[in-house]
Structure 1
Amino acid sequence: MPNVKLTKRVIDSAKAGTKDTILWDTDLKGFGCKITPAGHKVYFCYYRTKGGQQRRPKIGDHGVLTCEEAREVAKRWLAEAGIGGDPGGSLQAQKTQITFDAFADQYLEQHARTKKKASSVAADERNLNNHIRPMFGKLPIAAIGRMDVVCFHQKMKGKPGAANRCLALLSKMFNLAELWGFRPDNSNPCRHVSKYPERKLERYLTKEEFKGLGAQLQEKKLEKGMGPIIAAIIELLIFTGCRRDEILTLKWDDVSCNDRCLYLKDSKTGAKIVHLNSLALDVLQGLKLTQDNPFVFPGEKPGQHFAGIEKAWQRLRKKINLSDVRLHDLRHSFASVAASSGINLPMIGALLGHREVSTTQRYAHLSADPLRQANEEIGKKIAKAMRKK
């Protein structure tokens, strides 16, 4: 731990090591700069309280504060400590008094909006505003305990899916509260709170249902206005197995008819390639490019994509008695047809863009259907041979 007069030049030239490096100032005892292995440089002040406790509160980051500005703060803190004060303890006490509402705002600004997709940020905001803030908003973040979380989770037992998503969000937020110094380490109150079991909704279209849907889509294509666009969106969902938003936000720059592929720059699982069969390709080639709108399915407002597919689907499915079928079930149906056709699970996972093998495993029972059929045929042939005289 070298001692040197701390200056901008000295700190700028200091190199990071394999562990934290501490530079102590020779002009002001207790004033220092820590350099992490990642190269992060932080000014701090070291002193002992009247009761003998060691303190090393952070003053600020190098670059945000100049060396001289940090030294002036250190002088004030050391002077306060010299007369029995505890500036570092006061800062910590102020942090722990922050309310959940204030912390939630900080979480959204410093974490969610910088590290999550826009759709995930919107989901966090809905869960916070509709469920979490009404329960915890006015409480100090440091005062929320496990029983508070248990009671909150139990109040939402009628909505197990929403309850589990809120629990996961809270757990992440409390982990960050520890990281940012608003709660002690290892104090996450969500720990040991068990999630509710959820029933996965999986609905596959039958051959007859596909037939009825196909007839309805043909009628939709003949309608004026947005009818043909709605039909094309649904057909593309059926023939690609894509997620709804992957198709709604699809841009012409993402489409390569020559390669027969969609090159999606972003999706739920990151960038991915969607291979187009001839039917999906026909749908795309039947669409017209809209001037001044990059989206394959343009909305009514300039520069925006079509946004009314959910309401359109609800009206359409009601006409053909498919009221329990969601748009996402078209993706499940694509996978179920693949599985029952004998296509192996890794291939199905690749077609759907699954990142985890376990996600595709839900179709394992369907992939066994061709094997059962083959096994049945073999058994019948053997039995027939055994009965011959």
Structure 2
Amino acid sequence: MARRKLNKSIVDRLQAREREYVEWCGVLRGFGCRVRPSGVKSLIAQYRVGGRNSAVRKVTICKYGVPGCPSYEEARKEAEKVLARAKLGDDVAAQKAKDRAEMTVAQLCDDYVVNGSDHKKPSTNATDKGRIERHIKKLLGSKRIGEVTRADVEKFLRDVADGKTATDEKTGKFGRAIVKGGKGTATRTVRLLGGIFSYAVARGYIEKNPRIGVKVYADGKGERYLSAMELEQLGEVLREAETTGLPWQLNDSANSKHRPKQAEHQREIISEHAIAAIRLLLLTGCRAGEILNLKWSQVDFERGFLNLADSKTGAKTVLLGAPALQILAELPRIAGNPYVIVGERKGRPRSDLKRPWKRITSRAGLHDLRLHDLRHSYASVGAASGMGLGIIGKLLGHASPATTARYSHFADDPLRRASNSIAATIAAALAGPAEVPLAHERPADHG
């Protein structure tokens, strides 16, 4: 049986699998297409230098199908050259590794973004790129990767924490890029830097990761949650914000003609969609992005679920307690806009909650409270009620996608009762002394 030649048509049809694999050419030995679980394809050349017992070398010719990269025919010709040189004892992979050991940190970061981060979610990659451009390249970008030491990484950690990369730049006509630095940013950026150097080690660019042994600052994540009294304070301010409005925070340096002249105009009513978003974050334990990007088509009123196609942990189902369902049922839908939490742009969701959140937490005296702390508060209420960590984890979407996707049998099990109980407790605190519906009751109007 004739061996099959690897051609463009075959490469185009290759599908991703659970694990990485290589489809080899039966004619040009050592030439193949590597397919990663993410679906990214790379054309490679594999050979040995020095006989049968020598180490296997691999050279990535190019990524396949990526704009700006060589065509399939060009890549195959390049592979032929690499394999021909290998037969003459020329180790192309070793030479490339030597050349890359001389690359700068900035060049390594660019290489990592293109070739080493395809397993990450787009939102994570966007965050990584921001940290690379604003911190890593600014402080270490010009340094050769083979010269970076543990002491350099430790100094980088301190410099970011001390605000040496802090900036406040204008981006476009209205936007601003504010980079503050601090210990949390320093810790997360050093962890990213460590991952980038791990990639360099795996590729053979350097022998040792200089991030190893560097002690980072404690993130402090997950430590802040609302007490019962703070929940009441927040609930009171939310009611004030959507009814009578919050008092204006006048800027002494502002032009006097822009200030409201009458007392009754010196209050600001916060958007009902922004208020609903904050309440939903508290009552569901969702992440801010999950609520802001929520579409009405993802809300299952009949069974009481949010069916999220994408989240930090992939597709997941969020159980809704009765108070959360009531908020969704009473929230007005905007014609032509598929999103639950609408913004000012037609057909688009609200982009963030920074301004209303700052106004609300300032009024409530909760200056250190982050939006993500609402998720921690949801979990803490459940834990304080004696619910098992397994149940809390499932409600927060920490279980595997396969488990959370099977939501049909959750209707009357402990997860449903737990969701209702947490939401009812939080809703009662937000509502203050007023009577709230029983947790098992659902609104008759599904919106």
TM-score, structure 2 as length reference: 0.63
Structure 1 contact 253–294 (Cα < 8 Å) conserved: yes
Judging changes above 3 Å, is the alpha-carbon distance between structure 1 residues 55 and 120 closer, same or farther for their aligned structure 2 residues? closer
Q: CA deviation at 1:351?
A: 1.9
Does structure 1 residue 93 correspond to structure 2 residue 98?
yes
8 Å CA contact 1:34–1:43 kept in 2: the answer is: yes
Question: Alpha-carbon deviation of 1:252?
Answer: 1.2
| Runs of at least 5 residues in structure 1 that lack an aligned partner in the other structure | 13-18, 26-30, 357-389
Q: Which amino acid aligns with 1:119?
A: S
Matched AA of 1:144? V
Q: List per-residue Cα deviations over 1:346-378 (Å, max 9, x = no partner).
A: 22222222359xxxxxxxxxxxxxxxxxxxxxx
| Alpha-carbon distance, 1:280 to partner | 0.6
Report the Cα distance in structure 2 between the residues aligned to 1:208 and 1:326, rounded to whole angstroms: 17
Q: 1:288 to 1:177 in 2, by over 3 A?
A: same
Change (3 A) 1:105 1:293: farther
Which residues in structure 2 correspond to 1:225-240 (within 5 Å)? Answer: 227-240=271-284
For residues 194-343 of structure 1, the aligned pairs below 5 Å read: 194-200=215-221, 202-222=223-243, 227-343=271-387
| Pairing 1:8–2:8 present | no
Rounded Cα–Cα distance in structure 2 between residues aligned with 1:195 and 1:262: 37
Residue of structure 2 equivalent to 1:136: 140
The one-letter code of the counterpart of 1:326 is R
Q: CA shift at 1:169, angstroms?
A: 0.7
Per-residue CA deviations over 1:267-289 (Å, capped at 9, x if unaligned) read 22222221111111111011222
Rounded Cα–Cα distance in structure 2 between residues aligned with 1:293 and 1:339 = 37
Counterparts of 1:301 and 1:170, CA distance in 2: 37
SS in 2 for 1:326: coil
Larger Rg: 1
Q: In structure 1, the residue corresponding to 2:116 is in which secondary structure?
A: helix
One-letter code aligned to 2:273: I
Partner Cα separation in structure 2 for residue 128 and residue 314 of structure 1: 28
CA separation in 2, counterparts of 1:233 and 1:20?
46
Structure 1 residue 104: deviation in Å? 1.0
Q: Does 1:115 align with 2:112?
A: no
* Alignment correspondent of 1:105: 110
Distance 1:302-1:107 versus aligned 2 partners, 3 A rule: farther
Q: 1:32-60, CA deviations, whole angstroms, 9 ceiling, x for partnerless residues?
A: 42679989984346556xxxx99957484
The 1:116/1:89 distance shift into structure 2, 3 A limit, reads closer
| Contact 2:308–2:315 (CA under 8 A) maintained in structure 1 | yes
**Partners of 1:248 and 1:306 within 8 A in 2:** yes
What do the CA deviations read for 1:155-212 (whole angstroms, capped 9, x no partner)? Answer: 345533222212211111112112333223xx11112222333444533334343333
Deviations 1:298-340 (A, max 9, x none): 1111332112412101111222222232222222222232233
1:383 aligned residue: none
| Residue 263 to residue 321, structure 1, CA distance change in 2 (3 Å) | same
Q: Distance in 2 between matches of 1:86 and 1:349?
A: 51
**Higher normalized helix content (fraction of residues):** 1
Aligned to 1:382: none
Return the alpha-carbon distance in structure 1 between the equivalents of residues 216 and 311 of structure 2: 27
Distance 1:148 1:278, change over 3 A: same
What letter matches 1:231 in structure 2?
I
- CA deviation after TM superposition for structure 1 residue 259, in Å: 0.8
Is the 2:45–2:82 Cα contact (8 Å) retained in structure 1? no
Contact in 1 for aligned 2:61/2:79 (Cα 8 Å): yes
Which TM-score applies when normalising by structure 1?
A: 0.71
CA contact (8 A) 2:292 2:349 kept: yes
- Cα deviation, 1:252-276, whole Å, max 9, x if unaligned, reads 1211000111111222222222111
> What stretches of structure 2 of length at least 5 have no aligned partner?
11-20, 37-41, 65-71, 163-181, 246-267, 401-447
Cα deviation, residue 69, structure 1: 5.8
The Cα shift of 1:234 comes to 1.4
- Structure 1 vs Structure 2 CA RMSD: 4.0
SS at match of 1:115: coil
Alignment check: 8 A CA contact 1:243 1:328 kept = yes
How many residue pairs get matched? 333
State yes or no: 1:146 paired with 2:150. yes
| 1:102 match: secondary structure | helix
Which deviates further from its counterpart, 316-325 or 204-213? 204-213
State the secondary structure of the residue aligned to 2:394.
helix
Distance 2:58 2:387 in 1: 60
CA distance in 1, matches of 2:391, 2:132: 38
Verify the 8 A CA contact 1:6 1:67 in the aligned structure 2: no
Structure 1 match to 2:391: 347
Question: RCO (CA 8 Å, sep 6+): is it higher in 1 or 2?
Answer: 2
- Aligned residues of 1:45 and 1:57 also touching (Cα < 8 A): yes
